[in-house]
Structure 1
Amino acid sequence: MKIGKATVPHTAISTSNEDTIVVRGEDLCKDLIGKISFTDYFHLLVTGSRPTPAATAVLDATLVAIAEHGLVPSVQASRMTLAAAPDALQGAVAAGILGCGSVILGASETAGRLFIEVEERAGAGGDLDAAALAVLQEYRAARKAIPGYGHPLHKARDPRVERLFAVAREHGANLHYIAIAEAIERQIPQVIGKDLRLNVSAAIPAVLLGIGFPLPALKGVPILARTAGLIAHLTEELEQSIGFALSYQATRELEYDGELPAGFAATASHS
């Protein structure tokens, strides 16, 4: 990130006076509250403009698709944190969000950057399959992971992929990045010797880039969506705590393979 020389801070997102709160040039109370959905408001906040109907449908679909997927690591971390500190909901939410990295949730941004690389390699009207193959070969040579492909549970395509693609088609969104995502999927076996199918982390940028959603904000979509899922899990955790049970499950099969002091005798249970 470039370090600028500005000495006066600037923002185009919000300002206010005694009577009015302005968000992206609109009066919050007169123009937005009760008149705009949260999905549209999120788009307005990030981009500075209200979405088209296609953009609303696609963005809303991605938020629904990624909000919840069971007791994934970020959810487990969040629930165990709340079990240990039930008065700190904000800390438990943060614990889950801090797990959003290049493997979990954050792959949407890196997959989006992969699509842009293929797009630039192909040029206007170029061969997407040839460009995808060339970029994938470079990734392979550099020992870089291919973001957004493969899933530990969904060995065929992640079922969320086709539904997101269908929403984009149904609402007339630009399908260019879907074509890039599918070209990459076709070329992966030539590069690594096996199929790796699209997962939701590649589907999200494939549809969002097609509605003009900014590349640097892609990671924010799964973060926002998963926050909703975390709040649901934490509400349940307060009513029916499983945080310590999750901790127990993690240690039940644990085997210590380090050195031991003389005379140490292992016990059958852990404290």
Structure 2
Amino acid sequence: MRIGKQDNARTAIATSDEDSITVRGHDLVSDLIGEIDFTDYFWLLVCGIRPTDTQKTMMNACLVAIAEHGLVPSVQAARMTLAAAPEAWQGAMAAGLLGMGSVVAGSSETAGRYLVEVVAAGGDEAAAVASLEALKAARQKVPGLGHPQHSSGDPRAEKLLEIADKIGVSGQHVTALRLLGAKAPGIMNRPLPINVSGAIPAVILDAGWPLEAMKAVPLLARAGGLAAHLYEESQRPIGFILSHNADLAITYDGLTTK
């Protein structure tokens, strides 16, 4: 059974023949291996062109900012998977990446789409206020704002915005984010600092990264952090400790036989 369109059987990413491998128009062996760093290559692979120095600096900062986030659920899932299947690094890595959704790590995509909407509505103070009031009326959270621990300000977000200002990246998405951050506490009646999930899409969109590939940024970053946790798990396992403590923390309140 054929599903979907059948008339676009093409790719612009890579090809090879008996003598060469071509990636985005570059010879992999002579032009890329040993000649380009991985952030350059990541941008080239996704966007089809090499990043400018400014774009690479901004992407590097974003990747470093969120590669490691402690024992969050996705990391626990990965470590417990490796504890149960120590031969299956790929399964453990997949378990961690599959746990990156709208609440943890994948929230940058949600914030990015929200910022694009605010910018499309004008990107000014009026657009920010109208958007916030609509979210309040619908009793919805403000994407990219608020943090359970860093209530006075997410230091990672502050650093990314500082870098964006310094290297000349800050544009309409950073402006919109800052307007939202300035107006949200008064409208929502609670502290709502800009968080790293808001700063990342703001700075990387202004740097020229496509919205449709936004989720790739935290996915790539967290793959590095997961590799660290999985290597440590293989040397100093805590997966079963995590599992045991989860069992102790949960009280059964279902039916009993007595």
**How far apart are the structure 2 equivalents of 1:77 and 1:5?**
37
Q: Where does residue 185 of structure 1 map in the other structure? A: 181
The farther-off stretch of 159-168 and 74-83 is: 159-168
With normalisation by structure 1, the TM-score equals 0.91
1:194: how far off? 1.0
Letter in 2 for 1:173: V
Q: Pairwise mapping of residues 121-132 of structure 1 onto structure 2 (< 5 A)?
A: 121-122=121-122, 128-132=124-128
Give the share of equivalent positions with the same residue, in percent.
Answer: 54
1:122: how far off? 1.4
**How far apart are the structure 1 equivalents of 2:231 and 2:205?**
33
Q: SS at the partner of 1:104?
A: coil
Aligned counterpart in structure 2 of residue 226 of structure 1, from 222, 229, 248: 222
**How far apart are the structure 1 equivalents of 2:34 and 2:137?**
53
Tell whether the 8 Å contact from 1:108 to 1:204 is kept in structure 2 after alignment: yes
Deviations 1:208-245 (A, max 9, x none): 01111000111110000000100100000000000000
Tell whether the 8 Å contact from 2:151 to 2:191 is kept in structure 1 after alignment: no
Letter in 2 for 1:65: A
Q: Where does residue 7 of structure 1 map in the other structure? A: 7
Unpaired runs of 5+ residues, structure 1, are: 263-271
Q: Where does residue 160 of structure 2 map in the other structure? A: 164
Q: SS at the partner of 1:15?
A: strand
RMSD: 1.4
Q: Where does residue 267 of structure 1 map in the other structure? A: none
1:256: how far off? 1.2
The farther-off stretch of 47-56 and 131-140 is: 131-140
Q: SS at the partner of 2:62?
A: helix
Q: Where does residue 18 of structure 2 map in the other structure? A: 18
Tell whether the 8 Å contact from 1:155 to 1:197 is kept in structure 2 after alignment: yes
Q: Where does residue 204 of structure 2 map in the other structure? A: 208
Letter in 1 for 2:82: L
Unpaired runs of 5+ residues, structure 2, are: none
Deviations 1:119-165 (A, max 9, x none): 11116xxxx12111111222233343322211222112111011111
Tell whether the 8 Å contact from 1:39 to 1:60 is kept in structure 2 after alignment: yes
Q: SS at the partner of 2:15?
A: strand
Aligned counterpart in structure 2 of residue 238 of structure 1, from 230, 234, 237: 234
Q: Where does residue 93 of structure 2 map in the other structure? A: 93
Aligned counterpart in structure 2 of residue 140 of structure 1, from 136, 143, 147: 136
How many equivalent residue pairs? 256
Q: Where does residue 260 of structure 1 map in the other structure? A: 256
Larger radius of gyration: 1
**How far apart are the structure 1 equivalents of 2:183 and 2:4?**
41
Q: Where does residue 195 of structure 1 map in the other structure? A: 191
Q: SS at the partner of 2:45?
A: helix
Q: Where does residue 71 of structure 2 map in the other structure? A: 71
Q: Where does residue 54 of structure 1 map in the other structure? A: 54
Q: SS at the partner of 2:121?
A: helix
Displaced runs of 4+ in structure 1, greater than 6 A? Answer: none
